[in-house]
Amino acid sequence: MLRLFATFAILNALLLGLEIPRHGGFGPNWVALEALVLAGLFTLMPPGRWSRGLAGVAASLLALLSLLALADGLARMSLGRSLNLYLDYPLIRSVYHLMAGSVSVPGAIAAGVALLLVVTGLALFVRWLLLSLPAPRSPIALAAGVAMLAAGIAGTTAFHAGTALPSLPRAITPGATLVLDQLRFGRSAHSERREFEALLADEPDAGRATPLPGLDGIDVIIGFIESYGVSALFDDRYARVVGKQLEAIEQDVAAAGLHMVSGTLNAPMFGGQSWLAHASLLTGLRVRNQMHYEFLLGTQRASLVQDFQQTGHRTLAVMPAITRPWPEGRWYGYDEIHEASDIPYAGPEFNWVTMPDQFTWWHFEHSLRRGDDRPVFAKLALISSHAPWVPILPVIEDWDQIGDGSVFLQWEGEGETPESLWRNHDRVREHYALSVAYALETAGRYAARFTDSETLLILVGDHQPAPLITGADASPGVPVHVFSGAPELLEPFRDRGFVPGGRPPSEHTDADMDRLRGWLQEAFGAPSPRER
């Protein structure tokens, strides 16, 4: 009897542990009905080949469910939502590359091996636990086993039939619920995919290029600032540092005779998958998940890239974070794509960051923007504010010293390691604010130095950072800052709620990121007033 109840208690704890990601802890439930079924079944089952085989299956399933719960927890912490295997299985490779870039390749491999060993050890332990249950030798033990099995089956049936269980307070089926959730998420995602397909099929004209003669002769530059969400401006933990930097940018651009307006757009996701934000902004479609993205890449559809090509612009993407083959980049049809290996950077990497933003801006201005006589449409991915947010570099005052980037060698190996920093979440949040401030400072310095009346510069956050930074129920908004020496180029943004200066009017908005393409088409689809 003692072993029976001890086995039930251990199984109950393991199964209720599957609920930790959902509740941020063990949650309010007391009884895992599957634990009653397993303990009762293996108490009544005679030893032999069938019991050993069934114990192996049950133990393996529990280990796999634990792995699924761990992945669910990671999704909730990093993406601010539950795991959806139907959508998220392609992200396994991205997680590995993030770990390899932030820590090291051996560290990422070691973490994977350690996880495999833990899961295997859990399976072996549960198998031993189930097989260690002896056959009942007394009527009381036999009755206890029968009662557990019957209560577990009856409770599970009633629970999934929606019947209240007054005799088993806070009872649940954690394993079955986890599996059923994934089935439900998969059906929902499949239905959403069909709706997305229908949307593309019903809007054939929306996939065509639209010239923007109102921007003829204007360099249009879009800089995506990594992990720059509205929490950086409206959360008191970060607003002091980031807000101070925006005030400095306001002063610098005003002294340079430039104009600046700011607003908010909703990103299609939280915490990661920046390529979804890039696709949404460029195509004018709300690309909310990997399934949307992959389906989009299987279509022929124009984006801002083709809009500006029709207008006579040279189009290019500067992607310093791309270190592996990126065949989907060709789908956009840029005239030029500059990945990390294409950029002649002679400085060091800084954990995940292949090169600091200041070098990216410098290289773009001096090696790419002035490539020929055509105006340029460029998208830059600015990655210095990408996790793990260490080290924080100073901004080099004399931009002419940047050269090939070897000037950054003086900071190689500086700062603490990500492993050390991430032991203290308060310090992680402090570094997040500092890294965003650095990204904004370099972008603001670039704007003040290289923006003029023939330039429209748009800085936009790609998404909010992980819930560790924002907290629960944060807005999906990202700040948007628009600069030009020609005030008439900013007028369409003012008409849509943008305000002068660096601070958006609100962290909430009804406008999603995919609206920007339509705004540009509406505002600049005809010649500008000064050309009429």
**Cα–Cα distance measured from residue 80 to residue 83, given in angstroms and rounded to the nearest whole number:** 9
> 88-97, 394-403, 521-530: lowest mean pLDDT where?
88-97
**Mean pLDDT within 133-137:** 67
Q: pTM score, two decimals?
A: 0.77
Has residue 105 got a pLDDT over 70?
no
pLDDT at 89: 66
pLDDT at 265: 96
Per the CB < 8 A criterion, the answer to whether 262 and 502 are in contact is yes
**Cα–Cα distance measured from residue 125 to residue 237, given in angstroms and rounded to the nearest whole number:** 44
pLDDT at 167: 52
What b/e readout covers 84-114, taking b as 16+ CB neighbours within 10 angstroms?
bbbbbeebeeebeebbbbbbeeeebeeeeee
pLDDT at 532: 42
Residue 459, beta-bridge partner list: 223, 481
> 133-137, 144-148, 203-207, 391-395: lowest mean pLDDT where?
203-207
**Cβ-proximal residues to 468 (8 Å cutoff; 6+ apart), any chain:** 77, 425, 428, 429
Query: Across the chain, how many H-helices and E-strands are there?
Result: 20, 10
Percent of the chain with pLDDT over 70: 86
Has residue 23 got a pLDDT over 90?
no
**Mean pLDDT within 458-476:** 90
- N- to C-terminal Cα distance for the chain? 92
Highest mean pLDDT among 179-188, 195-204, 409-418 belongs to 409-418
> 17-26, 140-149, 171-180, 304-313: lowest mean pLDDT where?
140-149
Has residue 46 got a pLDDT over 70?
yes
Q: Which of 254, 274, 226 is nearest to 383 (CA)?
A: 226
**Cα–Cα distance measured from residue 359 to residue 456, given in angstroms and rounded to the nearest whole number:** 21
| Residue 376 CB coordination number (10 Å) | 22
Has residue 381 got a pLDDT over 60?
yes
Q: At what angle do helices 33-44 and 174-202 cross, to 10 degrees?
A: 130
What residue has token string 């063990």? 26
What b/e readout covers 47-79, taking b as 16+ CB neighbours within 10 angstroms?
eeeebeebbbebbbebbebbebbbbbbbbbebb
Dump pLDDT digits (tens) for 258-268. Answer: 999 999 999 99
Tell me the DSSP string of 162-194.
Answer: T---TTSTTEE-HHHHHHHHHHHHHHHHHHHHH
> 43-47, 144-148, 423-427: lowest mean pLDDT where?
144-148
Has residue 135 got a pLDDT over 70?
no
Domains of the chain: 2-189 (no CATH), 217-531 (3.40.720.10)
**Cα–Cα distance measured from residue 358 to residue 446, given in angstroms and rounded to the nearest whole number:** 8
What residue has token string 């009872």? 171
Highest mean pLDDT among 36-45, 68-77, 195-204, 345-354 belongs to 345-354
pLDDT at 94: 61
**Cα–Cα distance measured from residue 276 to residue 297, given in angstroms and rounded to the nearest whole number:** 12
Per the CB < 8 A criterion, the answer to whether 293 and 275 are in contact is yes
H-run or E-run covering 262: strand 259-266
Alpha helices in 17-48 (DSSP H): 20-23, 33-44
**Mean pLDDT within 297-325:** 89
- 90 vs 243 pLDDT, higher one: 243
Integer Rg of the chain from CA: 28
> 58-67, 253-262, 425-434: lowest mean pLDDT where?
58-67
Alpha helices in 31-138 (DSSP H): 33-44, 49-79, 85-88, 91-102, 105-131
Dump pLDDT digits (tens) for 69-88. Answer: 888 877 776 666 677 776 67
**Cα–Cα distance measured from residue 278 to residue 381, given in angstroms and rounded to the nearest whole number:** 9
Per the CB < 8 A criterion, the answer to whether 513 and 265 are in contact is yes
3-state secondary structure of 514: coil
Dump pLDDT digits (tens) for 165-198. Answer: 555 557 677 887 888 888 887 777 777 777 777 7
**Cα–Cα distance measured from residue 199 to residue 122, given in angstroms and rounded to the nearest whole number:** 46
Highest mean pLDDT among 43-57, 285-299, 461-475 belongs to 461-475
Q: What is the mean pLDDT of the chain?
A: 84
pLDDT at 233: 95
Has residue 203 got a pLDDT over 70?
no
